[in-house]
């Protein structure tokens, strides 16, 4: 099966040897996003809700570049350095997704790239 890299300037450039997303058939694997500004590439500052909104906007841009939308997301992975942010991230996620919600895992981690507090990855399935 061939792999097609997905790239958009509406989301931050990859900070390592990986693609923003890769499409294999009708499945798109979105790389983890930390709260980076797509314009500057800098980590955005603010509370966890602000950071989560930046991440979901970045993921939305990558989904659109792949020919889909957040409505096509089947699975989300959320990584938090502080699980006390769980409720706040849930509230932000509810702003971006509707029933039926994607499957999801939320995992507490000790550290994330660039000192971020949150990272989110996703799997999108296109019709």
Mean pLDDT of 43-57: 97
DSSP state of 83: G
pLDDT for res 81? 98
Residue pair 108/83 in contact (Cβ under 8 Å)? The answer is yes
Provide the pLDDT confidence category of residue 39 given band limits of 50, 70 and 90: very high
Domain locations along the chain? 4-125
Answer yes or no: is pLDDT of 87 > 80: yes
pLDDT for res 127? 87
Model confidence, pTM:
0.96
User: CATH code for 4-125?
Assistant: 3.30.1330.40
Mean pLDDT of 97-102: 97
């Amino acid at each position: 099966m061939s792999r097609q890299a997905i790239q958009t300037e509406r989301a931050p450039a990859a900070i390592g040897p990986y693609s923003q997303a890769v499409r294999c058939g009708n499945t798109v694997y979105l790389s983890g996003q930390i709260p980076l500004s797509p314009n500057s590439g800098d980590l955005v500052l603010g509370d966890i809700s602000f950071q989560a909104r930046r991440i979901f906007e970045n993921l939305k841009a990558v989904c659109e570049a792949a020919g889909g939308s957040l409505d096509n997301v089947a699975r989300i992975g959320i990584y938090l350095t502080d699980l006390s942010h769980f409720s706040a991230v849930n509230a932000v996620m509810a702003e971006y997704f509707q029933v039926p919600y994607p499957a999801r895992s939320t995992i507490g981690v000790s550290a994330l790239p660039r000192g971020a507090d949150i990272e989110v990855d996703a799997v999108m399935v296109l019709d």
